[in-house]
Amino acid sequence: MKTVLIDCSPKKKLSASGFIAGFTSLFVMGEKKKEKLRTKADWSRVLDAVADADNVVFSMPLYVDGVPSHILPFLKEMELRRRENSPDMNVYVIANNGFIEGKQNEPLMQTMEHFCERSGIRWGGGLGIGGGVMMNVMRIMLLVYLALAVFRFVAAGILGSWQAGPWIVFGKQTAAILLLCCGIIAFDIWLACRINQRKEYGKHYTRIMLPSFVFILCADLFFIILSVIQGGIFRGWFSRKKPTRMTN
């Protein structure tokens, strides 16, 4: 059984879609291939990879309530190719969005379902993740916590007392992150199991396990920090800027 997992994010690095695709692949059995679909230059490589695949998993971000525009022409090309062959392929979708509600991925899921109908490909189902962007923040935090634990452990050792304290703190921090992601992890492993069985998963929606008002505060803080890193803050964040030139 061959499964191709496609990261459909346009980002070159630190893509949440790529991370989730990679995480899913840990639980998928048989031959696995991970692909990146950013530009048209990737098309022929990805189309070759999916040509003889039993399962294809599209992992993508939600853009303006739908499939990102750069993926649509690829889907059309895939539809044309699959019509020429006799497809025995299951398509699964993992969609993540920046809002807390996983359910906001519903129009994207339906679009991918229609793509399957028109292409004669079996729709395997999809997982919609709310707060998917936070997965990126959490994996970075996990690495920072690990580095701090190593530093504290070594520093204490050099001073003459090797202690388990830093590792206990790291264990608690890891547990907290796993708790916040427990819905995503559980639904994702379930999806991988259905892929392994080549059975329909249905549509399921999950989220980061935070109350929405706390998530909103976290998201606001994230953008403030991002803005500071990018060179300043509140440079007309809220101003109603008017066009300075004609569009078309």
Strand partners, 204: 127
- What's the min distance (Å) between Cβ of 147 and other proteins? 26
Q: Which of 44, 85, 110, 163 binds other proteins (CB under 8 A)?
A: 110
Tell me, by CB under 8 A, how many residues bind other proteins. Answer: 53
Piece of 4-12, 84-92, 152-160, 175-183 that binds other proteins (CB under 8 A): 4-12
Q: Find all residues with CB under 8 Å of 212, minimum gap 6, and list them.
A: 100, 101
Q: By CB under 8 A, tell whether 231 contacts other proteins.
A: yes
- Secondary structure of residue 6 in the 3-state scheme: strand
Q: Which of 13, 41, 64, 211 binds other proteins (CB under 8 A)?
A: 64
Q: Indicate the residue among 148 and 210 with the shorter CB distance to other proteins.
A: 210
Strand partners, 126: 93, 203
DSSP 97-110: ESSS-GGGGHHHHH
x/- binding map, residues 153-192, to other proteins, per CB under 8 A? ----------------------------------------
Q: By CB under 8 A, tell whether 211 contacts other proteins.
A: no
Element (H, E) at 3: strand 2-7
The upper half-sphere exposure of residue 166, i.e. CA atoms within 13 Å in the direction of its Cβ, equals 17
Q: How many Å apart are CA 36 and CA 58, to the nearest integer?
A: 10
The upper half-sphere exposure of residue 218, i.e. CA atoms within 13 Å in the direction of its Cβ, equals 17
- Torsional sign, CA 225, 230, 232, 235: negative
Q: By CB under 8 A, tell whether 140 contacts other proteins.
A: no
- What's the min distance (Å) between Cβ of 185 and other proteins? 22
Q: Indicate the residue among 130 and 166 with the shorter CB distance to other proteins.
A: 130
Size of the chain in residues: 248
Q: By CB under 8 A, tell whether 13 contacts other proteins.
A: no
Q: By CB under 8 A, tell whether 197 contacts other proteins.
A: no
- Secondary structure of residue 131 in the 3-state scheme: coil
What's the one-letter identity of residue 229?
A: I
Q: How many Å apart are CA 33 and CA 40, to the nearest integer?
A: 19
Q: By CB under 8 A, tell whether 19 contacts other proteins.
A: no
Q: By CB under 8 A, tell whether 83 contacts other proteins.
A: no
x/- binding map, residues 112-131, to other proteins, per CB under 8 A? xxxx-xx-------------
DSSP 8-state assignment for residue 134:
H
Q: By CB under 8 A, tell whether 236 contacts other proteins.
A: yes
Note the residues at the interface with other proteins (CB under 8 A). 9-11, 61, 63-70, 72-73, 75-76, 99-101, 104, 106-107, 110-115, 117-118, 212, 215-216, 219-220, 223, 226-227, 230-231, 235-245, 247-248
